Amino acid sequence: MIRNAKKIAAYMMAGVAGVAVLTFAAQSMLMWQGKRTAEADMQTSAQLMLDRASHASMSAIGVLDRLAQTTGLSCTTDHRFLLSDATRAVPWVDTIGLVDRNGNLVCTDIGQSSRQSGLLPNYQANAPEISLSLSGNEVGKLSLLVVRHISNGRRLVARVPGELLVLDPVRNDLRRYRTAMLSLGKNSPLYLHEPIQPSQDVAVSVRESSDYLPFEASISIPSAAVKASLSGVEKIINLFGLALGLAAIGAGYALGRYRPDEGDKILDALDNGEFEAYLQPIVDLNNGQISGCEVLARWNRPGGGSVLPHDFIPTAERFDLTREITCAIFEDARDLIAPIVDAGSDFKISFNLFSRQLADDSILSDIRHVFEGSQIAYENLVFEISDRVPLNDTDQAKRIIKKIQELGSQIAIDDVGAGHSGLYSLTEISVDILKLDKILVDSLKRGLVGAEVVNSLIELACSLDIGVVAEGVETEDQVEHLKKLGVSTAQGYLFSPALPGNAFVDLVMASRSQGKIAKAPAADDDDNMSVDESFEAQEAA
């Protein structure tokens, strides 16, 4: 029997009603605040879309203005080379062509004449000297055309591919619901992003205009998006009326339900020694001997599971664990390679650095901590900086690089030819080695153009007393091409994939006894992915 059961029941019902009223009021306030926050974020996102489109347009206009100064611009081989050079000079543009007064495309920069009817409207005498147009309704077919009149109705046209305009800066929790459009003047809007979950309801809508070009960007989201973004807070509000005892039980339940996050898993893997150094030989092309290696990272889980760098490096960066992984790879490589490095040996061991590791002196202390007093001297070390990822603070990076070189180690620019700042890096950073990307090595089979590009880089490196290493070598023909061009050092699947430490040591020993590199076992392509390549693959993006 319970005393005052009816009264207690009444009080409980009143309490439930009060909690319901407070919860409803709190949810209404939360929805209002959520809309305001979403609107501010979407305005910023729309402005970023406009900035990207405007910057691409101005870059294309600039390069077309320079081409327009060429007297008698036509489809001759020399002039197509000018178009090709101009295309490569602007990262936003993938094609530049010449259009006649009837709007027909007569040639492009790709090295052959091409005629496409009706690419542009017929020329009108009162048409502006420069015009912009958007085309395509599917993401894979979107493009921005920048047109510059030359003379007598002849026009230059630069194409900015849609994938360079499809920036999606909208918050992750709103992304599946949002509709984003880019329009140009009174033209039909270009749908950059359509919602995964379409809805007729529009809760928040923003429209922003460019300050100096006729671009407009608009983004809208339905009420469901705002509610989804606030679902976590709503749960907290719904728990507001629970008693302290139930709150304590709930807290205990939550702790009991705790599951390690991805950062915890990486820390556990570091403690368990699951991160291992894999080593890819670097070969002297003149004598076939292994003159060094590039150190790559693998996460080998117990039971045979393996996590590739492009899967775990973004997580490590998000949890700020890249330094710990780098040190683990340093130590593993040091212990593996020490037996095959004789005192005074010039055997080179290359490590990939994250661009963020050149932001402070911690990398210097890590190098000293791992290698000082070991069998491996500082002079044996090479530290690679990827050309794919720009340096945030060049002055600070130069200072760190100088200190690394003062130790006796060398600096290499990796992925030259696949990035965007290789030549700039040569002028700004003290570099000891250029590593030609597989893209450049593969271009050798395309004939004179590929060989000329590679030869120009090699001649520049020689004039600056910089060493050259070719990456991604897969055929004997490539070796012969490289040797003719003066490249004496290379790595790639022709010689060996990246190998586990013991297999690499066995390969080096066998190669030394045979006088040339021995055959290495095959490995998955992903074994050749370095510690820093995962970020490039996103962006990458």
Expressed as residue numbers, the domain containing 466 is 262-531
Residue with tokens 């959520």: 34
Q: In this structure, are 194 and 327 located in the same domain?
A: no
Burial environment of residue 288 by CB neighbours within 10 A (0 to 12, 13 to 18, 19 or more): middle
DSSP string, 396-459: HHHHHHHHHHHHT-EEEEEEETTSS-HHHHHHHS--SEEEE-HHHHHHGGG-HHHHHHHHHHHH
Q: In this structure, are 222 and 296 located in the same domain?
A: no
Q: In this structure, are 217 and 268 located in the same domain?
A: no
- Domain total of the chain: 2
- Residue 213 is assigned to a structural domain of this protein: yes
- C-alpha span between 115 and 128 (Å, rounded): 24
Q: In this structure, are 154 and 270 located in the same domain?
A: no
Q: According to DSSP H, which parts of 120-243 are helical?
A: 162-165, 172-175, 223-229, 231-238
Domain boundary among 172, 204, 239: 239
- C-alpha span between 342 and 518 (Å, rounded): 20
The one-character DSSP state at 188 is: P
Q: In this structure, are 221 and 356 located in the same domain?
A: no
pLDDT of residue 336: 92
Q: In this structure, are 500 and 443 located in the same domain?
A: yes
Burial environment of residue 244 by CB neighbours within 10 A (0 to 12, 13 to 18, 19 or more): exposed
Task: Supply the CATH number for residue 308's domain.
Answer: 3.20.20.450
Task: Give the number of other Cβ atoms within 10 Å of residue 183's Cβ.
Answer: 18
- Residue 499 is assigned to a structural domain of this protein: yes
| Nearest CA among 281, 275, 313 for reference residue 295 | 281
pLDDT tens track of the chain, all 541 residues?
A: 233 333 334 444 445 455 566 666 666 776 777 778 888 888 888 888 888 889 999 999 999 999 999 888 888 888 989 999 999 999 999 999 999 999 898 888 876 555 678 888 899 988 899 998 877 656 557 788 999 999 889 999 999 988 787 666 667 777 777 777 778 876 666 666 666 556 667 778 888 888 888 888 888 888 777 766 666 666 666 665 554 344 434 444 344 444 567 888 888 899 889 999 999 999 999 988 999 999 999 999 887 778 878 888 888 888 888 899 999 999 999 999 998 887 667 899 999 998 888 888 999 999 999 999 999 999 999 999 987 777 778 889 899 999 999 999 999 998 887 765 556 566 678 899 999 999 889 888 776 666 788 888 888 888 889 999 999 999 999 999 899 989 999 999 999 999 999 999 999 988 888 876 655 555 454 444 444 444 343 333 3
| Nearest CA among 307, 297, 293, 292 for reference residue 277 | 297
What pTM was computed for the model?
0.52
Q: In this structure, are 321 and 213 located in the same domain?
A: no
- Residue 251 is assigned to a structural domain of this protein: no
Q: In this structure, are 269 and 165 located in the same domain?
A: no
What CA–CA distances, in Å, run from 526 to 266, 278, 326?
20, 11, 18
Q: In this structure, are 224 and 290 located in the same domain?
A: no
Domain boundary among 195, 224, 239: 239
Q: In this structure, are 272 and 390 located in the same domain?
A: yes
Domain boundary among 239, 274, 302: 239
